[in-house]
Chains A and B, each alone.
Chain A
Amino acid sequence: MDIPHNKQIKMLETMILSRKFSDTLVELCKIQGKIPGMMILSTGQEAVGSGVCAALEPEDVIITNHRSHNHLLAKGADPNELMAEIYCKKTGCNKGKSGTLHLAVPEVNAPCTTTVVGATLPIAVGRAFAQQYRNENAITVCFFGDGAADEGSFHEALNLAALWQLPVIFLCENNMYAGAQRYEEHTRVKDMAERAQAYNMPGIIADGNDALAVYTATLEARQRALEGKGPTLLECKTYRCRGHGETDPQHYQPKDEIKAWQDKCPIPRLADALVKAGIIPSSKLEEMESIADNIVQDAVRFAEESPYPEPHEALEDVYVD
């Protein structure tokens, strides 16, 4: 497939921005009290969010999980508002109610991040149902990890989506770990994509460290959904380079395994491909890095200069008045 150059460049820019964003958060987490709560990152998995979202149109919806930052940035969320929310500030996209874990950015059609493992799938079924009900020319993608595919909600959601032929892509970001369990320790199937057979939907496997492969697979699944041919289970094979959270010492992940996957980092992979294909000059990479760096530094400044919400604001936003 000929992928438009602007799309390829966009994917690379998004990955670079996501990585800067994550790396900055790693540093910020080391400073006591800087960021409240947990910090769960998707370092090394950037090709998935970037590849998927590049294949989507603005009206398409994503429902995402606890490793959401790269998905949201790729979908076009404002980095300042994201960072401020991660800092739990008043200017955050959710006024400090969410923090890093449940970011909701409905204005870019990313209305829900849920940290309940497996919960993205039934909600995505509902969102895709609304698209079908209204005959919209749009689809829903829900991100979940390999661990979530063991939840009952995975099976209920796939069954219902297949039955009603809903326009949804179930995007399994298989990063080989569910908490501290390796993939082989929590399932007997070789590939999660195999489970699609049980629901009579396509089960596709893509190299999750290759943004172009993810893009292509997403585009095809999107087309099928728009044609009324129903859902796809798309498994993107990748690797969780950091722990379950930033406090996780990753003692259960072999060091050489982490190193081997770091060597397969999706960012230089796409960068080299674009340079080799003459789509960008190699000098452009430094410029992309610098732009991303400025965006993230601006976001950090914005977040740090923003006030915390007033305590009584905790009482707001429970109900629609």
Chain B
Amino acid sequence: MQKLGMGQAVNQALKEEMYRDPNVFIAGEGVGVSIHVNPMFPTHGLLEEFGPARVKDTPVSEAAIAGLAVGAAEAGLRPVVEIMFNPFFTLASDMIVNHAAKLRYLSGGKSSFPLVVRIKSGAGFGAGCQHSHNLEAWAAHCPGLKVVMPSTSADAKGLLKSAIRDDNPVIFIEHMGLYFAQMPVPEEEYLTPLGHADIKRPGRDLTVVTWSGTLGAAMNAAEQLSRDGIEMEVVDLRTLNPLDKETILGSVEKTGRLIVMHEATRTAGFGAEVAAVVMEEGFKFLKAPLKRVTGPDIPVPASPPLEKFYIPDENDLIKAAREILDK
């Protein structure tokens, strides 16, 4: 099986979908003549392959990029536009939140907006908080959007292909820390359906629900705990909206204990939503109060030791796991 970084997997998904459907085009800042010129990055080589009519380098204009997607999608094209860093979502957010998400509803179901907004995200680059800020909870809070956050290269490919074929606006958030780790990706064509969580590691003693950049830490923690005879089930949400409650509740029913882990800050983070779902619908399964392992409520700092302090890691998760198990 081929091994790819997430950026390469995204690249493969884009390529396959562009060959499959002439309505698919990509646009964004540096998606063509990439300023990064890095083969690990998602749009590398696509300009050469598909030409400037379908690979559109735009000015530094997030509102125009997102508006381009909204207008073109209404006309039946399938735009995949890129927002370079998650904090710049704020500049595009009128077009995404007030238009992409709402215009179908406002039309009474007459119009649809089959667009994908790819957003690069995540801390770990010493870039500071105007480049590193996870805002998935903002998008997930907005009815009309779907929100996808893959954790593996294979999922990124399958989920992006599904997102491009979905008739709804999809926010597709890629953690840049995953661009470089080589992970197995099937060679053949496949789709990973939106709205289905994946149990990345089964366990019986407690559940950790996580997504995106913190999956690796969760897997490492599970491995370490296993050496002490503690089996932690790792549930990777993959899609935040729609939320796969069934898999979460099924896992909590099995293990009786829940930790939600994410890189984004704690207050009103998406972990709170997962926690609330379990309290409302799975309280009877819980043997102990649930816990959250998250970034602290601060902007992401630039200095390496400060940034490392910010990002929740396997040690934080192991500590929480032992507390919740009381051992």
Contact = CB atoms under 8 A, between A and B. Distances in A.
Interface in B87-139: 94-95, 98-99, 103-112, 114
A166 B75 CA distance: 15
Please provide the 7 A-B residue pairs with the shortest distance between their CB atoms, ordered closest to farther.
Answer: A122-B67, A126-B71, A130-B75, A94-B108, A95-B108, A317-B109, A104-B107
Contact of B63 (A97, A102, A152): A152
A122 B71 CA distance: 8
Contacts of B94: 116, 119, 153
B68 interface: yes
Interface of A: 61, 63, 92-98, 102, 104, 106-107, 111-112, 114, 116, 119, 121-131, 133, 140, 152-153, 156-157, 159-160, 163-164, 316-320
24 contacts: A63-B71, A104-B103, A104-B106, A106-B111, A112-B107, A119-B94, A122-B67, A125-B64, A126-B79, A133-B53, A153-B63, A153-B94, A156-B59, A156-B61, A157-B64, A157-B67, A159-B61, A160-B61, A160-B64, A160-B68, A163-B59, A318-B144, A319-B104, A320-B167
B72 A111 contact: no
A265 to B, nearest CB: 32
B143 interface: yes
A159 B74 contact: no
Contacts of B108: 92-98, 104, 317
B70 interface: yes
Nearest to B69: A126
B148 interface: no
B147 interface: no
A97 B168 CA distance: 18
Contacts of A131: 75
A159 B103 contact: no
Given A123-B70, A126-B72, A127-B74, A106 B107 contact: yes
B9 interface: no
A129 B115 CA distance: 14
Interface in B170-194: none
Contact of A121 (B56, B67, B74): B67
B74 A112 contact: yes
B204 to A, nearest CB: 36
Contacts of B53: 133
Contacts of A93: 108, 110
Interface string B32-54: 00000000000000000000010
Contact of A106 (B59, B67, B71, B110): B110
Contacts of B146: 319
Interface centre among A152, A157, A160 (most CB of B within 10 A): A160
A231 B48 CA distance: 28
Contacts of A317: 104-105, 107-109
Pick from B71, B74, B108, B166 the residue with the most CB of A within 10 Å.
B71
A203 B166 CA distance: 40
Pick the most buried of B69, B74, B112: most chain A CB atoms within 10 A of its CB: B74
